[in-house]
A and B are shown apart, each in its own frame.
Chain A
């Protein structure tokens, strides 16, 4: 089954304790992305990756790191989480449709609470 998976789905942690949220897709998509969703703000893009070893900042990259060492995986790293990073996080991968077209497919989300 074609899908985007995220782990963990729920995480409660404490300020300053490094964590990684994994994202994996089995559709051979080149483009992958991370978003955070906060009440009243919609989804905001954190980082995206056009291909292996190619990553770019989105609108809200501060406090996050990413890496793209393999095509299928795009982990999100919080080196020193803070309470303002409490949010619902989504990973997406995109089918390239040619001429710049990208159709996104989303994972199930990871609800992170930082105390």
Chain B
């Protein structure tokens, strides 16, 4: 299967700070999503981004498929951004999905 590595594993930020989360993957993909798991356990779609750049408010994401990585940018972080951020990929040759182990973000006031 496809190996997915996320970094950093843990991140603590002061409210208002910016951050960049990284997702590296070991093979070509035709699906890539970023999710936020909130403290109540819900998995919330952030971006579907197998290539290119997207922005949604304070969040943006960039995937460079040829170099097998994706970045999630969080600007002006808020306490509600706390939780775990997951990257999930799906390969070109099947319909199976692989998740990274996540980045745990804590935003302190």
Contact = CB atoms under 8 A, between A and B. Distances in A.
A29 B98 CA distance: 20
Contacts of A104: 33, 45, 88, 97
Contact of A43 (B30, B31, B45, B88): B88
A88 B48 CA distance: 24
Interface residues of B, number: 24
A12 interface: no
A58 B88 contact: no
Interface stretch (A16-24, A44-52, A62-70, A77-85): A44-52
Interface string A69-113: 000000000000000000010100000010111111110110000
B33 A33 contact: no
Interface string B84-109: 00101010100111111110000000
Contacts of A58: 96-97
A109 B95 CA distance: 21
Secondary structure type dominating chain B contacts:
strand
B66 interface: no
Given A33-B97, A101-B30, A103-B48, A43 B86 contact: yes
Contacts of B92: 100
Nearest to B101: A42
A28 to B, nearest CB: 18
Given A103-B45, A104-B45, A106-B35, 19 more contacts: A33-B97, A42-B4, A42-B101, A43-B99, A45-B97, A45-B98, A56-B96, A58-B96, A58-B97, A59-B1, A100-B92, A101-B31, A103-B31, A104-B33, A104-B88, A104-B97, A106-B42, A108-B42, A109-B41
Interface of B: 1, 4, 30-31, 33, 35, 41-43, 45, 48, 50, 86, 88, 90, 92, 95-102
